[in-house]
């Protein structure tokens, strides 16, 4: 299979503009004749559904939450990047493009990244017009901050709740279309399968999570905006309901899964406190702007209180190792260094899995009031969860799974290799390479939904004829039947273990063997244990109740079943990528200073995997990557 990126050639600065002109348009009067399905209602799905409805398409939008306003985009704290250069500090579209390609460790597609940087400025305009209350200066102008490894202040924010405000903007735009009858919303509904007819995506199978009713929805195109797969690790900063089911079902129907081993570990989360832990809470990375990261120099001091460790006995290891970026090094580097000092036995707190994030200098310099204005809500949250007051004692933080750069393979038009199946936002693989920079996820979700899909979907629809396909077509009936059979199977195993217990066990395998650092021996062990666990799952699962009711164990069983297949693919991908890049760190491949060592000669490609059945080796397809503008170099943040 040849993977065509369909990215336009020529000068990168005019590619998107030319492509927009070359794409076919759907006549305004004809748009209402097309039916489009959008799965997911976060920044990508919500903005796509709203914008497509606004253009005149008939849209059906689905989400598993009780309202589209609750999608996990809402939890993004820090901000959204845009190359506005409002600060006159040297930013430009080209610089945002450059930073994103470099930050992604040269494993993203240049054309997509350039378009993302270009659209970033439109997003801010759009959001302000919708009433998103971004932070402002006393002049009334928009405020910016520097964020996550950027040397310019290009991040727009709304206190620590930027994701919430952007999502509510998209949700309100979506609500307007729902009221106009252009979008029909299906909350508390999960997607169980994709229906492919004559090689094109023409519908989905869903389950109403209240009544339990399964049904088929047919359309002319299907858009998946269903987020990432971070919950394969069980503990992550994702919402509990986040899952890989929609992407995985599409994968099983032929869509390629790209770079699943690229997972992002966020350096500033609240450490695990016990076995009952159900999720990890992120503390915004913006805290690193004013907080200083340290651990004791000597192992013997880890049991002491932070205050009793003298200044000279503290190791501000990020400032020491990376003098020019200091505490603001990118996420992968900050995370790996935290793991390293903890592995040396210098970690603090229960289990030795934590490092200090200390605000005492910032409080001295700026005063408590200024620190509270910037981070008050985060400090409060920290205190609620841990019982410690960060104004008095340093926070304890530890890395946790936060975002997944891998996802379904898409071309420049955001269409997967299955025609008519588009993938937006975190669910696709396209823009962040092997590591995502802070404040870039919100940018990508909204760029895809507001400004890319409205053009590329029209282009797809205008190019071909769509014979009507009914719910009773053979492919639809088959997909519905297999979804029903799977539910029956979950309910009939009647074993001893809950879906949650399998999920926890899978998560531990993935975190230990395919987490912050990976090696061949560990990955091979995971590839042995995951299939064994999956086998046990199908023999020893216990789901009570019936399929015809609100049944949360049944929902979880379906999600865990897919994670048990997905986890294996992730480890396979990590094993084949014999290099370190971004969030993928193979301990066999590091420089003398312990930094990630890429192998550009062998691995400058996208690894896109084809499903070959449960227990069969997936087939690898490669999309070679070229770097005509930003030339691969060793990332250095010294």
Partner 1 sequence: MKLKLHIWRQPNQSAQGAFADYELGDVSEDMSFLEMLDVLNEKLSADGKDPVAFDHDCREGICGMCGMVVNGSPHGPRKSTTTCQLHMRSFKDGDELWIEPWRAQAFPVLKDLVVDRSSFDRIIQSGGYISARAGSAQDANATLIPKLDADTAFEAAACIGCGACVAACPNASAMLFVAAKVSHLGHLPQGQPERYSRVRKMVSQMDAEGFGGCTNHKECEAACPKGISISHIARLNRDLVKAQLTAAEEKAVSEGAG
Q: Which residues in 470-499 contact partner 1 (CB under 8 A)?
A: 498
Binding flag, residue 441, partner 1 (CB under 8 A): no
Using CB under 8 A, pick the residue from 137, 467, 592, 601 that binds partner 1: 137
Site for partner 1 in 266-325 (CB under 8 A): 273-274, 276-279, 281-282
CB 366, CB 395: distance < 8 Å: no
Which 8-state DSSP code applies to residue 271?
A: P
Taking alpha carbons only, the member of 398, 399, 403, 444 closest to residue 259 is: 403
User: How would you classify the pairing of strands 58-62 and 183-186?
Assistant: parallel
Site for partner 1 in 215-244 (CB under 8 A): 237, 239-241
Binding flag, residue 187, partner 1 (CB under 8 A): yes
Using CB under 8 A, pick the residue from 409, 429, 450, 490 that binds partner 1: 450
CB 173, CB 181: distance < 8 Å: no
Between CA 577 and CA 590 the distance in angstroms is 13
Give the contacts of 613 (CB within 8 A, at least 6 positions apart). none
Binding flag, residue 423, partner 1 (CB under 8 A): no
Question: Which positions are annotated as active-site residues?
Answer: 331
Binding flag, residue 197, partner 1 (CB under 8 A): no
Q: How far is the CB of 500 from partner 1 (least distance, A)?
A: 7
Using CB under 8 A, pick the residue from 20, 33, 176, 184 that binds partner 1: 176
Site for partner 1 in 74-103 (CB under 8 A): 74-75, 84, 86
- For residue 164 the two structure tokens come to 């919430």
Q: How far is the CB of 156 from partner 1 (least distance, A)?
A: 8
Provide the Cα torsion 408, 404, 240, 214; round to 10°.
0
CA angle, 349 as apex, 345 and 352 as ends, to 5°? Answer: 25
Q: Which range touches partner 1 (CB under 8 A), out of 129-137, 196-204, 357-365, 583-591?
A: 129-137
Which sign does the torsion angle of CA 384, 552, 498, 233 carry?
negative
How many Cα atoms occupy the beta-carbon half-sphere of 629 within 13 Å?
A: 21
Site for partner 1 in 367-406 (CB under 8 A): 380-381, 384-387
Site for partner 1 in 555-614 (CB under 8 A): none
CB 409, CB 431: distance < 8 Å: no
Q: How far is the CB of 61 from partner 1 (least distance, A)?
A: 12
- For residue 508 the two structure tokens come to 């531990």
Q: How far is the CB of 505 from partner 1 (least distance, A)?
A: 14
Nearer to partner 1, 161 or 444 (CB): 161
Q: Which range touches partner 1 (CB under 8 A), out of 64-72, 191-199, 294-302, 620-628?
A: 64-72
10 class by beta-carbon count within 10 Å (0-12 exposed, 13-18 middle, 19+ buried): exposed
Binding flag, residue 454, partner 1 (CB under 8 A): yes
CB 407, CB 429: distance < 8 Å: yes
CB 154, CB 92: distance < 8 Å: no
Mapping DSSP to helix (H, G, I), strand (E, B) and coil, where does residue 403 land?
Answer: strand
Using CB under 8 A, pick the residue from 31, 60, 69, 346 that binds partner 1: 69
Between CA 592 and CA 590 the distance in angstroms is 7
Binding flag, residue 199, partner 1 (CB under 8 A): no
Give, in order, the Cα–Cα distances in Å from 227 to each of 34, 213, 248, 333, 552.
25, 24, 12, 24, 20
Binding flag, residue 21, partner 1 (CB under 8 A): no
Using CB under 8 A, pick the residue from 1, 307, 521, 550 that binds partner 1: 550
Nearer to partner 1, 382 or 585 (CB): 382
Q: Which range touches partner 1 (CB under 8 A), out of 72-80, 319-327, 505-513, 620-628?
A: 72-80
Using CB under 8 A, pick the residue from 67, 305, 464, 591 that binds partner 1: 67
Nearer to partner 1, 82 or 196 (CB): 82
Q: How far is the CB of 223 from partner 1 (least distance, A)?
A: 16
Nearer to partner 1, 413 or 416 (CB): 413
Using CB under 8 A, pick the residue from 1, 11, 24, 133 that binds partner 1: 133
Binding flag, residue 131, partner 1 (CB under 8 A): yes
For the chain, the distance separating the N- and C-terminal CA atoms, rounded to the nearest angstrom, is 41
Binding flag, residue 28, partner 1 (CB under 8 A): no
Between CA 517 and CA 438 the distance in angstroms is 21
Nearer to partner 1, 80 or 219 (CB): 80
């Amino acid at each position: 299979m040849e993977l065509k990126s369909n990215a336009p050639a020529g000068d990168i600065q005019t590619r998107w503009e030319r492509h927009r002109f070359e794409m076919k348009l759907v006549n305004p009067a004809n748009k209402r004749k097309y039916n489009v399905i959008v799965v997911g209602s976060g920044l990508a799905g919500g903005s796509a559904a709203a914008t497509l409805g606004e253009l005149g398409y008939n849209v059906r939008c689905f989400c598993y939450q009780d309202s589209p306003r609750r999608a996990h985009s809402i939890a993004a704290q820090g901000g959204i990047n845009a190359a506005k250069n409002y600060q006159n500090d040297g930013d430009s579209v080209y610089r945002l493009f450059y930073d994103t390609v470099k930050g992604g460790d040269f494993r993203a597609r240049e054309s997509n990244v350039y378009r993302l940087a270009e659209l970033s400025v439109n997003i801010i305009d759009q959001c302000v017009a919708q009433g998103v209350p971004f932070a402002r200066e006393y002049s009334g102008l928009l405020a910016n901050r520097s964020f996550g490894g950027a040397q310019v202040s290009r991040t727009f924010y709304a206190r620590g709740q930027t994701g919430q405000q952007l999502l509510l903007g998209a949700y309100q735009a979506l609500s307007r279309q729902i009221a106009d009858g252009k979008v029909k919303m299906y909350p508390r509904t999960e997607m169980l399968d994709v229906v492919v007819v004559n090689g094109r995506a023409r519908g989905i199978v869903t389950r109403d999570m209240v009544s339990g009713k399964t049904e088929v929805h047919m359309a002319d195109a299907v858009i998946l905006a269903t987020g990432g797969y971070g919950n394969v690790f069980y503990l992550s900063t994702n919402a509990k309901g986040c899952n890989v089911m929609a992407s995985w079902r599409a994968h099983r129907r032929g869509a390629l899964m790209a770079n699943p081993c690229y997972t992002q570990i966020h350096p500033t989360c609240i450490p695990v406190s016990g076995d009952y832990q159900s999720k990890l809470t992120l503390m915004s990375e913006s805290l690193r702007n004013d907080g200083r990261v340290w651990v004791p120099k000597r192992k013997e001091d880890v049991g002491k209180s932070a205050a009793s460790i003298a200044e000279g006995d503290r190791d501000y290891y990020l400032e020491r190792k990376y003098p020019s970026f200091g505490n603001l090094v990118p996420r992968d580097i900050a995370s790996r260094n935290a793991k390293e000092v903890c592995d040396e036995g210098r970690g603090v707190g229960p289990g030795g899995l934590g490092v200090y994030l200390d605000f005492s200098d910032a409080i001295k310099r700026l005063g408590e009031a200024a620190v509270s204005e910037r981070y008050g809500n985060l400090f409060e949250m920290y205190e609620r969860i841990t019982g410690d007051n960060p104004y008095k004692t340093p926070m304890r933080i530890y890395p946790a799974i936060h975002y997944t750069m891998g996802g379904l393979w898409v071309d420049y038009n955001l269409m997967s290799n299955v025609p008519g199946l588009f993938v937006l936002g975190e669910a696709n693989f396209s823009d962040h390479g092997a590591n995502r920079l802070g404040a870039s996820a919100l940018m990508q979700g909204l760029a895809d939904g507001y400004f890319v899909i409205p053009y590329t979907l029209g282009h797809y629809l205008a190019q071909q004829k769509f014979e009507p396909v009914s719910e009773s077509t053979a492919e639809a009936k088959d997909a519905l039947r297999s979804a029903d059979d799977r539910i029956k199977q979950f309910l009939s195993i009647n074993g001893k273990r809950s879906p949650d217990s399998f999920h926890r066990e899978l998560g531990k395998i993935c975190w230990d063997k395919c987490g912050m650092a990976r090696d061949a021996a560990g990955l091979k062990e995971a590839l042995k244990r995951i299939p064994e666990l999956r086998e046990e799952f199908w023999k020893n699962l216990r789901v009570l109740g019936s399929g015809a009711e609100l049944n949360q164990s049944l929902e979880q069983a379906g999600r865990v079943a897919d994670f048990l297949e997905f986890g294996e693919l992730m480890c396979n991908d990590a094993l084949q990528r014999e290099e370190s890049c971004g969030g993928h760190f193979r301990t066999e491949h590091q420089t003398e200073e312990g930094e990630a060592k890429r192998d550009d000669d062998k691995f400058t490609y996208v690894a896109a995997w084809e499903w070959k059945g449960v227990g069969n080796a997936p087939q690898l397809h490669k999309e070679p990557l070229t770097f005509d503008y930003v030339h691969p170099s060793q990332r250095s943040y010294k």
